[in-house]
A and B are shown apart, each in its own frame.
Chain A
Amino acid sequence: MKKVILVADDSPTIRKFVSFALTMKGYEIITASDGMEALEKIPNEKLDLIITDLNMPNIDGFELIKTIRENELYKEIPIIILSSLGSSEEIEKGMAYGANSYLVKPFDPKRILYEVAKYLN
């Protein structure tokens, strides 16, 4: 059974980039262009992990994480933040909202594979 990962980022380039790295490793990827779309897709999939950007239109990453963590059905899904907002207060805020890891863009693809493997193996 392939592990399913949701990637939420408003940049199609980043979505492609992350998907590319992860599908190479045999994960199945679902993408969303913002928090809104992510929330729409979550109920339809059996997700194993979520990777999200913070600064997105409509519903941003913080709100997305908060909403997921407050929902009984999905609160256990590991969440990795992938953002270029690299200040310590943002990292703290993200973690406080319930994210499991935080990666600052731009990142080495190996790093994200490592983080993902940490939660899925």
Chain B
Amino acid sequence: MANYEILHDPDMQDILDSFIVETREILENLDSELMELESSPQDDELLNKIFRAFHTIKGTSGFLGLERLTLVTHKCEDILNKLRKGEAVLNSGIMDGILDAFDKIKLLSECVDENKNEDVEIDDTLNLLVSIIEGMENPSAAEVKKEKPVTAPEPDLKETAKAPKPNKKAAATRNKVTKKTATRKTPKKKTDDAFVEEPEPEEIEVEEVELDEVETEDDTVEVLEEDGEETPEIQEIPLESVGIIAKSKGTSGSGNVGDKIAKAAMQKSQESNIRVDIERLDELLNIASELVLGRNRLAQVNSDVALEHEGTELSRDLADVTKQIDLMTDELQLIVMKTRMVKIGKVFNRFPRVVRDLAKETQKEVRLIIKGEETELDKTLIEEINDPLVHLVRNSVDHGVEDPDFRKKNGKDPVGTIILSAEHEGNNITISIEDDGKGIDAEVLKEKAVSKGLITEEKARELSKKDAYNLIFLPGFSTAAKVTNVSGRGVGMDVVKTNVTKLRGIIDVESEVGKGSKIIIKLPLTLAIIPGMIVKVANEIVVIPLNSVVEVVRVHKDHISSINQRQVITLREQVLPLIDIDTLLYGVVEKKESDWQYVVVVGIAERRYGIKVDDLVGQKEVVIKSLGSYLGTVHGIAGSTILGDGTVVMILDISELINSIAK
């Protein structure tokens, strides 16, 4: 066993940190690249990239004396080298070995990071890899051998013979939606001229994405120069200087230099990042939000001055300054927000593997389509949304998509489709998980809930289809007849709901029996500066976070009915409980009854409620400030903010308020 002295050497810390970060990044990309490879095993470019990934880890871990990492990566490198040279063709047996090794490498690097040693057992993985390599070198012997280690009978034949069509389709779709695949393939496939002739709209679309990418990434390059160790001018030099050298290369040069420059530009802009401590970003955001408050105040003062000293030079100057500060603050705020944004692809990229493993385990065939992986959202949200998504995707595979035989019998494509997508919608991001499986049967859900004693039979009858879907979010509810290894992993739908609620998000379930289901999660883009709806309740002004607001309606008092002494309204066949915010906040308040009542319909995860308000004041970007340590947490209040005229108003924590009613 090696000693890991070098890992404890203070001089090496910097290098070790760099190794950890680099390896983690490589592994993150590798995860999705391996999945891609499985659907397009003949992609040389991809093979090279994967080979290089293992190769790099091998090289760096060798430096640091990490023997086990070096061993495992070395074996993977051997396998990939054989694939690369066309000495063997990728099959699911080989893929399983590589994935197993991938998992081990991940464990090892985590172990190095945390414990500064390599205490992870690797013998099984090594044996598996060695037997794969032997099989590749000696295919005839492998025929006999292969039958043994692989548990599922005839996996290769079955997959290749049965699935070529859907596989191709999956690859094509992926081409469209996955930028990485697209950009990697296009430059390789054709020269510049051929590209012009290419009439297929699909391809042009891809190119557009690529150009777009280069441009937008380039914008950030100046700020985000790698490690800050190089001068920014370098960005402008490359084309010419390469030109000089490339020209001197003359005809002997292989490969198309133009292609390479384009690729390098891509590569470069992707690599030009600087790592910043998240705490610094938090501070920056905090200061920016203070500035927003100051800006709002300034705008108010400006309009006051304009009224009192109309037409004077002073008021004109102030107006100018105010306008400028206003503009700059907006921009600053936007940039600070953007700095904290992370592409959701970071989370999405893990799913091909999740789906693959699960489909295998449950003997289903599933293709996963990922859309909108470029969509960005705040880092804090990214971290929190991962677990719920894993659970939802697993659910889709496990409970949604049917067995291939069953699907075929019912005239469906035996390969099920799950679409995971993300898109921006105003100040929200919408993430949806859609499958074309069996759908959710509201009646079955109701029966289940009744038999588990979660709701009464009477209540079950009253539930609308939509309300019935929401039963799945009740703690202790599971539709699987028995808790399978797959679904019973501790994270239930109620946890999904809890997490989404915590992020002030909304969940919607749509489903059609026999056709499939779709779960939609709507999250705010950021948690610090939010658009708020300013309303008046019992003569107090309060702010309701706009992302919780579904709609605002005005109802006549005759349309307010009561069930169990609780006021409700019926809105498009959904019964909404009405909430008196003032009684909740201030105790019982004497009220003047009017004929018409404003109701703000809010959503908390899957539930909808109506909040009675006296008046609607307006809508504004507000900065959530904590109430300060001396007040601590006040029930039902998310924080406070300062309006332009200096008034401090409370921002309601809708989910907490409503939970208190539910109790």
A67 touches B246 (CB 8 A): yes
B242 touches A55 (CB 8 A): no
Query: B351 at interface (Cβ–Cβ under 8 A)?
Result: no
> What residues on A are CB-neighbors of B234 within 8 Å?
40-41
**Taking each of B242, B245, B250, B263, which has the highest tally of chain A beta carbons within 10 Å of its own beta carbon?**
B245
Query: A89 at interface (Cβ–Cβ under 8 A)?
Result: no
B18 touches A12 (CB 8 A): yes
A13 touches B62 (CB 8 A): no
> What residues on A are CB-neighbors of B254 within 8 Å?
63
Which stretch in B214-222, B264-272, B485-493, B499-507 binds the other chain?
A: B264-272
Query: B466 at interface (Cβ–Cβ under 8 A)?
Result: no
Query: B63 at interface (Cβ–Cβ under 8 A)?
Result: yes
- CA–CA, A99 and B512, complex, Å: 67
- CA–CA, A72 and B245, complex, Å: 10
- CA–CA, A101 and B74, complex, Å: 24
B245 touches A71 (CB 8 A): yes
A72 touches B248 (CB 8 A): yes
**Taking each of B58, B59, B62, B263, which has the highest tally of chain A beta carbons within 10 Å of its own beta carbon?**
B59
Query: A34 at interface (Cβ–Cβ under 8 A)?
Result: yes
B264 touches A13 (CB 8 A): no
Once A17-B63, A59-B260 are accepted as A-B contacts, the answer to whether A40 and B248 lie under 8 Å apart by CB is: no
> What residues on A are CB-neighbors of B63 within 8 Å?
13-14, 17, 105-106
Once A20-B15, A36-B260, A43-B244 are accepted as A-B contacts, the answer to whether A13 and B271 lie under 8 Å apart by CB is: no
Tell me how many residue pairs across A and B have CB atoms closer than 8 Å. Answer: 105
B249 touches A58 (CB 8 A): no
B59 touches A42 (CB 8 A): no
Residue in contact with B245 in the complex, picked from A34, A42, A44, A106, CB distance below 8 Å: A42
Query: A11 at interface (Cβ–Cβ under 8 A)?
Result: yes
Residue in contact with B264 in the complex, picked from A31, A37, A70, CB distance below 8 Å: A37
> What residues on B are CB-neighbors of A106 within 8 Å?
59, 62-63, 65, 70
B15 touches A84 (CB 8 A): no
> What residues on A are CB-neighbors of B607 within 8 Å?
none
- CA–CA, A84 and B57, complex, Å: 11
Interface residues of B in 184-242 (CB under 8 A from A): 226-227, 229, 234, 237-238, 241-242
A-B contact pairs, 22 of them (CB 8 A): A12-B22, A13-B22, A14-B60, A17-B15, A34-B264, A36-B242, A36-B260, A36-B267, A37-B264, A37-B268, A40-B237, A40-B242, A42-B245, A43-B241, A43-B244, A57-B52, A58-B263, A68-B245, A70-B248, A70-B252, A84-B62, A105-B59
